[in-house]
Structure 1
Amino acid sequence: MTILDKIIAFKKKEITKIKAEVSVKKLVESPSFKRQPISLKQSLIDPYSTGIIAEFKRQSPSKGIINDKATVTEVTNGYLTANVAAQSVLTDTSFFGGTMADLMEARSVNQIKPILRKDFVVDGFQIVEAKAIGADAILLIATCLTPKELKNYGQLATDLGLEVLYEIHTQEDLDKISDLDGKIIGINNRNLKTFKVDLENSLALANQIPSNAVKVSESGISDPRIIMGLKEYGFQGFLIGENFMKTEDPGEACQEFIEQIR
């Protein structure tokens, strides 16, 4: 059983428990449910965009604790000062040490940039939940979902006014997504089954994605020069977490990184 298998099995049990305690009606009645989401896509394709989706991440299964000192408010303010294109917040507790409260705190600080809820979506309930806690976009990981689930969850997100970052790692993952036109496609350089990182993965799959889709490279980006290379392959988004979070001041690290890609 891979780490990913364990995460998904655990997540399904976790969601079943939460659904028994929290009704969809209660989520729909939350104040954040009525807010107009900020477009992740527009933020990435804006000609003046930095393209950086900066992540708040305390820990990971492969690295253990990355940063358990920095607060959500400090990091969010730092990312905003650095002029990120968007913010990503991990809300998985058991494996990544995140919470939904983290995203809600980030949202209270950040009213101007889109926030991606980074989690393992295995149930439509989580998409309604994402809207209720103030997210603008969700992550759908093709490796974990069937073509039908990807389509249905994507449609539900759209119906709720949320955008979707469809994450792939292989050609097989990409083939599961129907109609790539206009979608935001994230190529994860990290193999979720082994957690090994290979930046060549983004380059290998880039040509399989139509030019009218928004391409995002995820994981393993630690050098500003990598951004330049990825841009040549048509990438407009770059999801970076660990590289900033492993420092004492993630916001400052992000600002220094962005200054080098200007």
Structure 2
Amino acid sequence: MSTYNFYYDRNAYTLSFNSMGGSFVLSKTVLYEAPMAQHEPDDPTREHYVFKGWYLDSDYMLPYDFGTATMPGSNVQLYAKWESSQYSAKFYTHEGDGTPVKTQGIAQGEYIKDPGVYIVGQGYEGLGEFLGWYWYLPGTDRLVAYSWETPVSGDVTLYGRWKTDGFSLTYDKGIGFGSVPVDTNSYALGVKAPVKDALLSASGKTFVGWQVDGSGRTYYPGNTIKMNGDTKLVARYVNPSLAVSLVFNANYGSNPATETWTAEKNDYVTLPDSMFDRAGYSFAVWNTKT
């Protein structure tokens, strides 16, 4: 029997750099699957700009990490990202904050981009509902919404604007049938609104509670929800085999009052602070024993 040994040459591919107006960066030849960390070049330079890293695309959506990458079975082209050092745009969550949440460098005539820190119309705990970025019109004391189509001609400071009161809590029956509760109250930021019950049903399923916009934690009737903006609670239903009863007993008197919640089996339930009143006593804690 003969034994044959086969030897292969590992393919090599080109790693090239587009410095996008910066100093020239020499291309490299790299073996297939070789770690790229040892091939990371020195940062290029560009007058009045700061180098912000290498990207796989010229739109700067795909940052390149030399520390974790290996050479693929094809050539690689990288693009330098730059940020101007001529002017700066600073974003503050509130006017008067000492530290910006984001800073951008911009050149004369360029445009500031939405930093993506907050989303307009979305509520944030402790902040409220974000209304947008505002700035003082140059030379005035007028605070107005900033337009991303404004060409830059100097440093710009922007402040987040927030809605902190007048929040509504609404209910949606989702896939079910029946009437949802109506909450006519207007809530301020941080107020805990009571979650209401409803007589709802769905084909082959049991109503157990509510979720904000139909996802996340389940709020059971009798819970409270902290208001950080306009909030919509969507009914949640489960298979009957997963629905269990959670009975609250006032635990005093000859015929103690009770209240029953329908909950999902194995779910974590936030118990109410209290739901019964007893003259001369203050509620202490819930217990599974009498």
Alignment TM-score, normalising by the size of structure 1: 0.23
Greater fraction of residues in strand:
2
Q: Which of structures 1 and 2 has the bigger CA Rg?
A: 2
Q: Which has the higher contact order (CA 8 A, sep 6+)?
A: 1
Greater fraction of residues in helix:
1
Alignment TM-score, normalising by the size of structure 2: 0.21
